[in-house]
Structure 1
């Protein structure tokens, strides 16, 4: 069985270390795992229940939900902005959580990883993302974690895909996701 992992990156900046971490994740997918890095989070309007009705759901939100429906698992890659996850990532979770109790994230094996400038690698943001995913109904894999500290220094001259330790760690993350998704 092949597990398709929809990957949402919380940083919109092209050269961000979290976007690079997503690239490293895709390049180091183990056998049986396909990583699809989603693009277009910046096009999704803030969640508004008034527009989340049949015939009015914004196209960008429909596309995100469709991508999630085609995936077997969800991987969020989050930087830390002011001690929490970026609004664009929280907004994606909000769209995936609806309709309440039956959203696209319901029961989906999900994990959160990331890198940040600080010494803890963005753990606060990642914990907040796990919390939001859990409330959205996702099957959050609490044991599948990766927080890489000091991103600006560590990846100043080395892309995460070329860092052997990171390559092994993201492979392990994907193996953890695959193990749970394969059981579903």
Structure 2
């Protein structure tokens, strides 16, 4: 079978982001299962705040097309979401809002065509006691209902994330690692099953 391809996305653009560190640990776990993991930096897409007038005048920005192409090439998605006042970051939501505006154009599919049924593994990290759980649940609802992705049932919210990693970026607590591995394992299994011919 061809190599499984996963796309890793962090909703945080901050240098040294805890979610970026958790995503890196998840990507390593996926790679250990034989998956090829590519990472896309949402900040590098340079997407303006969604505005219908802007879309009407200038069209959908190239950054949204880059996100579409990366998602189209992936068999599944690993996504880490921070929590800002109980919700995912504007960066994350705005990126997918722009993606949803892409219509089919020649050989290029519509934005939602590449996300429909796409397997998704969700994790979050926060210095707080809930580990970003509120944002995690909102992100699950948003990406499944509005963007038509297919989250696996397993998810992981890492509480006190500022104390959770060693100097090498690995999770100190074996229970945390096991919870992360459960999400990654479920994503790899589902994505591989959907990729395989029936």
TM-score normalised over the length of structure 2: 0.80
> Per-residue displacement from partner, 1:90-116 (whole Å, max 9, x unpaired)?
112223334588613111011210111
1:108 maps to 2:118: yes
How many aligned residue pairs are there? 181
What SS does the corresponding residue of 1:61 show, helix, strand or coil?
Answer: helix
Structure 2 counterparts to residues 135-146 of structure 1, below 5 A: 135=145, 136-141=147-152, 143-146=153-156
Aligned partners of 1:81, 1:180: CA distance in 2, in Å?
30
Change (3 A) 1:74 1:97: farther
Q: Which residue of 2 aligns with 1:132?
A: 142
Native 8 Å contact 1:20 1:159 kept in 2: no
Q: 1:123 aligns with which of 115, 124, 133?
A: 133
1:163 maps to 2:164: no
Change (3 A) 1:183 1:98: farther
Native 8 Å contact 1:22 1:37 kept in 2: no
Aligned partners of 2:140, 2:17: CA distance in 1, in Å?
21
Q: Which residue of 2 aligns with 1:41?
A: 43
Native 8 Å contact 1:9 1:78 kept in 2: yes
Q: Which residue of 2 aligns with 1:19?
A: 20
Larger radius of gyration: 2
Q: Which residue of 2 aligns with 1:3?
A: 4
Q: 1:31 aligns with which of 30, 33, 45?
A: 33
Structure 2 counterparts to residues 68-83 of structure 1, below 5 A: 68-83=71-86
What SS does the corresponding residue of 1:161 show, helix, strand or coil?
Answer: coil
Compare the two structures and name the one with the higher helix fraction: 2
What SS does the corresponding residue of 1:24 show, helix, strand or coil?
Answer: helix
- Structure 1 gap segments, 5+ residues each: none
Change (3 A) 1:110 1:95: farther
TM-score normalised over the length of structure 1: 0.85
